[in-house]
Amino acid sequence: MANMKYLQIMQSNRTKLNLWIKRLTVIAVLSFLLFFGLTNYIFKGQFLELNVLINKYADLNINQNTGLHKFILVAIKKFTLFLPSTGNTIIQRDIKEIGVGNFEPSTFYKNNVIRYKIFAETNDEILSALSNAKPGTQIIVKPGIYTFAGRGIPIIASGEPFSPIVLKALRVGSVIFKLGTSEGLMLNRPFWRIENLIFKGNKDTDSWIDHAIHITGNADYASIVNNEFINFNSHIKANGILNDHGKRIFPDHVLIQHNNFYNEWKRNTTHPVNFIDVVGGEHWLIENNFIADFGKNGRRGRGVAFGAYLKGASKYGIFQKNLVACKWKLPYTHMLDIRVGLSFGGGSTGQQFCMDGKCSYEHDEGIMRQNTIVNCKNDVSIYLNKSRNTKIYSNILLNSLGIDVRYPESSALIYSNELDGRIKARDGAFIKQYDNDWVN
């Protein structure tokens, strides 16, 4: 009987011990999940960045390793399933929708004198008008598809203050410039306005079809408004050009307003893929544009692409009220498919091409405000590179790492933004931030 009682006591103790082990296990698991969840919530941006960095490293190295090394890389990559990741914002747009918001051209025509009208319906008539139009001329292209080949389409005529030269279609969508040229319109004259046209690059020539419009030199007060640009490496390219005295001249006071910029496939090229690529110049205003799908397959399938940037010691640039979708219809192909939304500084500039001749900074006194930037999942929505005295406010940044401000030359005031990444000063940059809302 004593042995039986002893066994019953032992069994009871074992049952109680097992019950306490189960309770402690549940408490430990719940505590870990609570800790992990709170940590993810509080440090979401940091964990998001860790997830992206691990996956980039794994994608870069998995196929170069075998055996245990490859197994470890695959295991590490699977571990990132427990870390926060970027989502995807679906953009619904009508196929006929141009730009962002309502387009009101009336103010421009109210303030400017139009004295002449030229109606063009052939390539030769268009080229003649681009060379010979007088200030205050509207060149109205009749409906149709116009195919151009060769180096580019030169613009030789010049407008004047309050008497610009306008190249336009009467209705957006009625005129398509189909370009097999490397440069498209080559604009080196002041006071031009390009309006209501569709520019479309040919297929299967990604290394040749670079720009729809190249703005350079004396092209001050150019206006690119209410157009659509499809399938180019850098839809708008701008930089300086040497004059007869050896001084590099840059276009200033340029307006890029209410346009569409997108591609129908990832560009297969080693050329730069940056939809609005501006080197130098002052007082550029880029507003109310839709910029999307700027992926690139570069060397070994990798590519870094920007939606738009101003760099090269440029000054007083403004990005406002743009909708930028790093991914709209073109899916990401891997973690090294890197797309950055908007930037002051881009990927830096060669010293000889900078407006100050030394590239002591990339941009000065820039403003980014009221932009919506989404789906830059493998990098940041906004990138500042050697850009000083910058203001970034009232933007919505979703599904990206957030904002990077880099190098000692960079300084930024960042406030009243809504984002789900983090704001990071890198390599000696200075930032001041307040009143930013994090989406969790």
pLDDT at 57: 73
- For residues 53 and 33, membership in a common domain is answered with no
Question: Which structural domain, as residue segments, surrounds residue 57?
Answer: 43-82
Residue 393 has pLDDT above 50, yes or no: yes
Residue range 174-208, pLDDT digits in tens:
999 999 999 999 999 999 999 999 999 988 777 88
- Number of domains composing the chain: 3
Question: 191: left (phi > 0), else alpha (psi -120 to 50), else beta?
Answer: left
pLDDT at 410: 97
pLDDT band with cut points at 50, 70 and 90 for residue 60 = confident
- Residue 397 has, within 13 A of its CA and on its CB side, a CA count of 35
Nearest partner of 312 among 347, 341, 342, 288, judged by Cα: 347
Residue 323 has pLDDT above 70, yes or no: yes
pLDDT at 331: 93
- For residues 244 and 187, membership in a common domain is answered with yes
- For residues 62 and 8, membership in a common domain is answered with no
- For residues 289 and 186, membership in a common domain is answered with yes
Give CA–CA dist 394/372, Å, rounded. 9
- For residues 69 and 191, membership in a common domain is answered with no
pLDDT band with cut points at 50, 70 and 90 for residue 249 = very high
Mean pLDDT, residues 59-65 taken together: 74
Range from 141-145, 244-248, 425-429 carrying the lowest mean pLDDT: 244-248
- For residues 219 and 78, membership in a common domain is answered with no
Residue range 16-33, pLDDT digits in tens:
666 666 566 555 544 444
Give CA–CA dist 213/410, Å, rounded. 30
Residue 427 has pLDDT above 80, yes or no: yes
pLDDT band with cut points at 50, 70 and 90 for residue 39 = very low
Residue 153 has pLDDT above 70, yes or no: yes
Range from 3-17, 68-82, 113-127, 413-427 carrying the lowest mean pLDDT: 3-17
pLDDT at 56: 74
pLDDT at 329: 95
In this structure, is residue 96 part of a structural domain? no
Q: What CATH number has the domain bearing residue 170?
A: 2.160.20.10
- For residues 185 and 269, membership in a common domain is answered with yes
pLDDT band with cut points at 50, 70 and 90 for residue 278 = very high
Range from 104-108, 208-212, 218-222 carrying the lowest mean pLDDT: 104-108
Mean pLDDT, residues 410-414 taken together: 98
DSSP category for residue 299 = G
- For residues 250 and 184, membership in a common domain is answered with yes
In this structure, is residue 89 part of a structural domain? no
**pTM score of the predicted model:** 0.87
- For residues 311 and 248, membership in a common domain is answered with yes
Give CA–CA dist 384/354, Å, rounded. 17
- For residues 226 and 332, membership in a common domain is answered with yes
**Cβ-proximal residues to 143 (8 Å cutoff; 6+ apart), any chain:** 169, 171, 174, 175
Beta bridge partners of 405: 384, 425
- For residues 18 and 159, membership in a common domain is answered with no
pLDDT at 335: 87
Average pLDDT score over the chain: 88
In this structure, is residue 250 part of a structural domain? yes
In this structure, is residue 93 part of a structural domain? no
In this structure, is residue 222 part of a structural domain? yes
pLDDT at 59: 75
- For residues 294 and 271, membership in a common domain is answered with yes
In this structure, is residue 59 part of a structural domain? yes
In this structure, is residue 122 part of a structural domain? yes
In this structure, is residue 21 part of a structural domain? yes
Alpha carbon 151 to its chain's center: 27
